[in-house]
Amino acid sequence: MRIRIGYEIVLDVPAPIPLLTLLRVHPSVEADLVHPETPTIEPRLPVSEYFDAYGNRVGRLLVPAGKLRLTNDALIRVDGQSDPVASSAFQHPVIDLPPETLQFLLPSRYCEVDRLGETAWSLFGKTPFGWQRVQAVSDWVHNHVEFGYSYADSTKGAYETYLAPKGVCRDFTHLAITFCRCLGIPARYVTGYLGDIGVPPDPNPMDFSAWFEVYLGGRWHTFDARHNARRIGRVVMARGRDAVDVALTTAFGEAKLEKFVVWTDEVPETRASAPR
């Protein structure tokens, strides 16, 4: 299966600012690109890139005052299968976890493990270890948090979402991650493309999506508390502790969002495959 992915983002910048971007597919999926990404910046500006502590490709540039237009378009091949299920995946004792996973047990900006530990154990302490426990967390968050774009708040963390259970996909994800970490299960935040493939079309404008991964049975597994379903066609852009680590753009100064369009559409194998 081939999926066309891309975006158009326009920012109004009143004064020159440094800007970081996380707008490329994650290096782990670059090999699946049928055609390379075609990121463009208007006006044309020099961009330096580096890999952050989580393996994400970060762009770094100095933006002059005025309009900044960021676009990208690419074609990627996916296996066409839903997210794998590994119902027998076991939960590692914390003492046995690989060192690189331990950071995903700790509190972070939007995942206040220290404030929700008692709640997590009261809700999920009697559930089976491993995959079933994570699924119980995903079920609970999905069923108890109300989704709505009007509830978006970039300063809201998991604890506030628990107290006032309304939010967007990042809030569902932060709360599920926090509960998992409280229960000794490493959990990390993922952002990327997720289209309406294999599900009824969403009438709302397309957006980037957030989900989470947990470390069970020696590997990372995908869960999605917002949709609470195994989905087709996820394309990872970035991973981190929470939304702070995977922000699409980080502006060190004022930058007003004027346009934001995302596309992620299945492309028939017989159609011409060159990016638009």
**pTM exceeds 0.85, yes or no:** yes
Q: Are residues 234 and 131 in the same domain?
A: yes
CA gap 268, 93 in Å, rounded: 45
Cα 124 to Cα 130, 135, 136, 179, 237: the distances in Å are 12, 10, 7, 9, 31
Structure-block tokens of residue 209: 């999506």
Count of domains observed in the chain: 2
Calculate Rg over the CA atoms of the chain: 19
| Reported confidence tier of residue 36, pLDDT bands at 50, 70, 90 | confident
Domain that holds residue 23: 2-80+248-267
Same domain for 236 and 99: yes
Residue 182 lies inside a defined structural domain of this protein: yes
**Percent helix, strand and coil across the chain, each to the nearest 5:** 25, 35, 40
Verify that 167 and 68 share a domain, yes or no: no
What is the average pLDDT across 192-209?
92
Let me know if residue 14 belongs to a domain: yes
Is residue 105 one of the residues assigned to a domain? yes
User: Is residue 19 in a domain?
Assistant: yes
Same domain, 149 and 183: yes
> What b-and-e string marks burial along 81-108, b requiring 16 or more CB atoms within 10 Å of the CB?
eeeeeeeebebbeeeebeeebeebbebb
171 φ, ψ (degrees, to nearest 5): -70, -40
Q: What is the pLDDT of residues 143-191, one digit of tens each?
A: 999 999 999 999 999 999 999 999 999 999 999 999 999 999 999 999 9
Any idea of the CA torsion for 96, 244, 142, 90, to the nearest 10 degrees? Answer: -10
What's the pLDDT tens digit per position in 262-276? Answer: 999 999 876 544 544
My answer on whether 139 and 228 are in the same domain is: yes
Q: Are residues 157 and 254 in the same domain?
A: no
Which distant-in-sequence residues (6+ apart) come within 8 Å of 135 by Cβ?
223
Query: Given the structure tokens 């047990």, which residue do they identify?
Result: 105
Q: How far apart are CA 185 and CA 216, in angstroms?
A: 8
pLDDT digits 0-9 by tens, 49-78? 999 999 999 999 999 999 999 999 999 999
Residue 32: which CATH number? 2.60.40.2250
At residue 34, does pLDDT exceed 70?
A: yes
Closest CA to 198 of 229, 237, 235: 229
Is 128 found in the same domain as 22? no
Does residue 272 form part of some domain? no
Q: What is the CATH number of the domain that holds 233?
A: 3.10.620.30
